[in-house]
Structure 1
Amino acid sequence: MSPRALLSWSTAVLSALLLTACAKEETPYAWRLPPGFPEPFVPEDNPMSEEKVVLGRYLFYDTRLSGNGTMACASCHEQKRAFSDGLATPTGSTGHHVARNSPGLANVAYLATYTWANPVLDTLEKQARVPLFAETPLELGMGSRLDEVLQRLREDARYPALYRDAFPDEERPLTETNVLKALASFQRTLLSGGSPYDRYLRGESNALSASAKRGMELFFGERAECYHCHSGPHLTNSFRSKDTKLSERDFQNTGLYNVDGQGAYPGDNTGLFEFTGLAKDMGRFRVPPLRNVALTAPYMHDGSIATLEEVLSHYTAGGRDVTSGPFTGDGRLSPLKNPLVRPFELSTQERADLIAFLESLTDTDFVNDPSFSNPFPPATTP
């Protein structure tokens, strides 16, 4: 081959490689969105890729991500419970009490803020830092042992290759930042849209029982008024997608406590007040989504209400009257609660109908989807 021909051939090969690389880089992520779901918001510095999702799934289930190697994200977020844990409040890897209930993660990609009452955690990447690195309370306890944790991952034959695939442009991709990015990417795929309620909205008139249909009318009606806060596609007023602007963060006080007669909440659980110091924000928390709610008991930010029936009693009473213990006080009389939380009557049948509707929000495919399950073989699960 002549020098000129060799140069021409080399140039063509190089151009083809560059075009292939660019095409791969520009190929959009193939979202598996339930019918009617918009594309979630994704930060520009962490575009979705299948490789990041795969890596994030391994990290989510890996107990070696905690400082002492005893807990994983999945320890408090179990798939069978719609990624909640069935406890009132969890305990961290070193035995620290965590004051707030572990929420379910269905459709967490669409929330405008994360955790129960932090107005500045507006991405899953930021949220992941809380359980991983926070020390008060200490949850996974990765912060003071970061180098040790990362070394554990480097010593596992899986992770160097998984990180190279997920972050191919980085010479040393196994970093703290990329742990957060991969975890966030996996969590954005936890999409739930196959419940009987969803099927009914898509035209399957028999997907809901007659009782659930009556309960839906109550839920979205002016007597129960549930929909004022539990609105939109995921039944929460906290919502963000790719094409929506981030709206003003919304937090609500539901009259759960009134320990001083002026609306005070327990000192370790004051809600938005913890961040703003404003009296009006005492006891205000993010409105939780209700998808799969029948699987995520107990309820409220501190897990202090055990069943859906008790949740209905709380709202029909217009708040909770705590008559014993350290938090005695009548939340029904709180001057800080949302005025929509007011007493109203439900018959026995109407209560059953509302429960039937809430149970119709359960997506059994979601809690059994193998793509969300523990990727480690049972004998080798960390």
Structure 2
Amino acid sequence: MTDSSHPHYHQLAALLLASCSLLAGCVGSSGTSLDDEGASASSYDWDIPASIPLPVEPDDNPMTSAKFELGRYLFYDTRLSANGDIACASCHKQELAFSDGNQFPSGTYGDMHPRNAMSLGNTGWFATFNWARPDVTTLEEQIRGPLFNTSPIPEHGITDDNIELIESEVRADSTYQVLLIAAYPDEDANSQWNFDDHLIPALASFVRGLTSFDSPFDQYLLGDSDALSASAKRGLSLFASERLECTHCHLDDFTLTDNHMNRTWNYPTSNFHNTGSVLVYEEPNRGVYEVTGNSSHFGQFRTMSLRNIALTAPYSHDGSHATLADIIDTYSQGGKQGDYSVDGDLSPGFTLTDDEKTDLLAFLCSLTDTTFISNPDYGNPWPDEDGNPIGVTENPLADASVNPQCQLD
């Protein structure tokens, strides 16, 4: 369990939280009202450090192990698509921290999505879930998008024309019959199991339960001074410094994003920024402006968590940055000064020596949680075509010493 009285924890928290007051002009709202009731009470075993406040569980979809397990089967099932070829796991692969390694994912009809597939992990603590949709504030809402949306592309391609066929296939599967009854024990065994009432809540439960708190960085916060190399410790100091301004957006001490919430806060913090990550923002990648039509929101996108960042290339909303070193260089230049300037002081620019860049990369690579990407509870539960367990795919790039993201070119 994390010891929140440990000096490493307090030092980092002070460095990161000191930046909160500097976040101005961002979409969303902040709250400072503390509510301790229920902060550590749950019938679900979250298996997280004691110092981490629990995420919010929706009143109409509380976490249970049975719903999580049903959601795991659904997450890896390609039958939940128009052509039977796309599962949630098609764009969210465990070995890549539930990203897909591509600049753009493709849907069931072969269309390319204009935005990079987000990684998953600790999503239960996120205030919003979409690159540029402040109005999508629950996982249940977010999951509906890939399943049913036709814009910007049909991803899973589920429509009124095929939804009953897909639901009937789920209902007829003996594996799902057992899982559904276990997940919803108060319902009749002959219930008309459906997306709205059963499948989407289960998928949300699985994604909400994907927790990642066992990286070297976390072990350092636990008090293991040797968990971080000397280079990574120097990189942490750079990361938390006013010189680089990283913590203006990646400010939280455990989610490493300013788009977060938990049970101790009555109101979420959901910020979106234009950090100048690209030169031109073109439709449909114009940020929150695509939703609001407000010109001040042009180019503003959600702050991604940096957890497992070394495994989730390429980067940015459009996957246009191939490497972490590329991202560092972009922000060291103050962002790309294109058709709209960046938000205030979020990308002021800075100068780093090659040694300092190496140290910053070492810190970012210390955020890789090998337990998370190898946890069999998060893996594909379905057997292969020969009836053998599929198991978890190993990723050699989890080793920072061989991961090119962790070294300068």
Normalised by the size of structure 1, how large is the TM-score?
0.86
- Asked whether 1:270 is paired with 2:305, we answer no
> Residues 252 and 338 of structure 1 are in contact (CA less than 8 Å); yes or no, is this contact kept in structure 2?
no
Q: Which amino acid aligns with 2:199?
A: V
- Asked whether 1:376 is paired with 2:392, we answer no
Q: Which position in structure 1 is the counterpart of 2:209?
A: 189
- Asked whether 1:156 is paired with 2:173, we answer yes
Secondary structure, in 3 states, of the residue corresponding to 1:376? strand
What is the alpha-carbon distance in structure 1 between the residues aligned to residue 344 and residue 202 of structure 2? 38
Kindly tell me the number of residue pairs found equivalent between the two proteins.
342
Q: Which position in structure 2 is the counterpart of 1:303?
A: 319
Q: Which position in structure 1 is the counterpart of 2:106?
A: 91
Q: Which position in structure 2 is the counterpart of 1:12?
A: none
Of 345, 349, 354, the residue aligned with 2:355 is 349
Deviation at 1:135, TM superposition (A): 0.8
- Asked whether 1:30 is paired with 2:45, we answer yes
> Residues 299 and 340 of structure 2 are in contact (CA less than 8 Å); yes or no, is this contact kept in structure 1?
no
Normalised by the size of structure 2, how large is the TM-score?
0.81
Q: Which amino acid aligns with 1:113?
A: T
Q: Which amino acid aligns with 2:360?
A: L
Of 315, 328, 341, the residue aligned with 1:335 is 341
What is the alpha-carbon distance in structure 2 between the residues aligned to residue 372 and residue 273 of structure 1? 35
Q: Which position in structure 1 is the counterpart of 2:274?
A: 253
What is the alpha-carbon distance in structure 1 between the residues aligned to residue 288 and residue 55 of structure 2? 25
Deviation at 1:28, TM superposition (A): 1.7
Secondary structure, in 3 states, of the residue corresponding to 2:380? coil
Secondary structure, in 3 states, of the residue corresponding to 2:234? helix
> Residues 39 and 242 of structure 1 are in contact (CA less than 8 Å); yes or no, is this contact kept in structure 2?
yes
What is the alpha-carbon distance in structure 2 between the residues aligned to residue 42 and residue 27 of structure 1? 9
Secondary structure, in 3 states, of the residue corresponding to 2:381? coil
- Aligned CA-pair RMSD: 1.7
- Asked whether 1:215 is paired with 2:231, we answer no
Deviation at 1:240, TM superposition (A): 1.0
Q: Which position in structure 2 is the counterpart of 1:317?
A: 333
> Residues 196 and 360 of structure 1 are in contact (CA less than 8 Å); yes or no, is this contact kept in structure 2?
yes
Secondary structure, in 3 states, of the residue corresponding to 1:65? coil
Q: Which amino acid aligns with 1:246?
A: Y
Unpaired stretches in structure 2, ≥5 consecutive residues: 1-40, 391-409
Q: From the superposition, tell whether residues 290 and 173 of structure 1 become closer, same or farther in structure 2 (CA, over 3 Å).
A: farther
Deviation at 1:30, TM superposition (A): 2.3
- Asked whether 1:49 is paired with 2:68, we answer no
What is the alpha-carbon distance in structure 1 between the residues aligned to residue 269 and residue 209 of structure 2? 25
Q: Which position in structure 1 is the counterpart of 2:261?
A: 240
Deviation at 1:36, TM superposition (A): 2.2
Deviation at 1:173, TM superposition (A): 5.3
Secondary structure, in 3 states, of the residue corresponding to 1:375? strand
> Residues 259 and 270 of structure 2 are in contact (CA less than 8 Å); yes or no, is this contact kept in structure 1?
yes
What is the alpha-carbon distance in structure 1 between the residues aligned to residue 278 and residue 343 of structure 2? 9
Secondary structure, in 3 states, of the residue corresponding to 1:349? helix
Of 206, 220, 227, the residue aligned with 2:247 is 227
Higher helix content, 1 or 2 = 1
What is the alpha-carbon distance in structure 1 between the residues aligned to residue 155 and residue 125 of structure 2? 24
What is the alpha-carbon distance in structure 1 between the residues aligned to residue 87 and residue 279 of structure 2? 35
What is the alpha-carbon distance in structure 2 between the residues aligned to residue 210 and residue 226 of structure 1? 20
Secondary structure, in 3 states, of the residue corresponding to 1:311? helix
Deviation at 1:148, TM superposition (A): 1.0
What is the alpha-carbon distance in structure 2 between the residues aligned to residue 35 and residue 298 of structure 1? 33
Q: Deviations over 1:157-207 (max 9, x none)?
A: 111121111112223151111111000101111100000000001100000
> Residues 65 and 140 of structure 1 are in contact (CA less than 8 Å); yes or no, is this contact kept in structure 2?
yes
What is the alpha-carbon distance in structure 1 between the residues aligned to residue 235 and residue 342 of structure 2? 29
Deviation at 1:336, TM superposition (A): 4.3
What is the alpha-carbon distance in structure 2 between the residues aligned to residue 90 and residue 155 of structure 1? 30
Mean CA deviation greater in 236-245 or 191-200? 236-245
> Residues 196 and 363 of structure 1 are in contact (CA less than 8 Å); yes or no, is this contact kept in structure 2?
yes
Deviation at 1:319, TM superposition (A): 1.2
Aligned residues: percent identity? Answer: 45
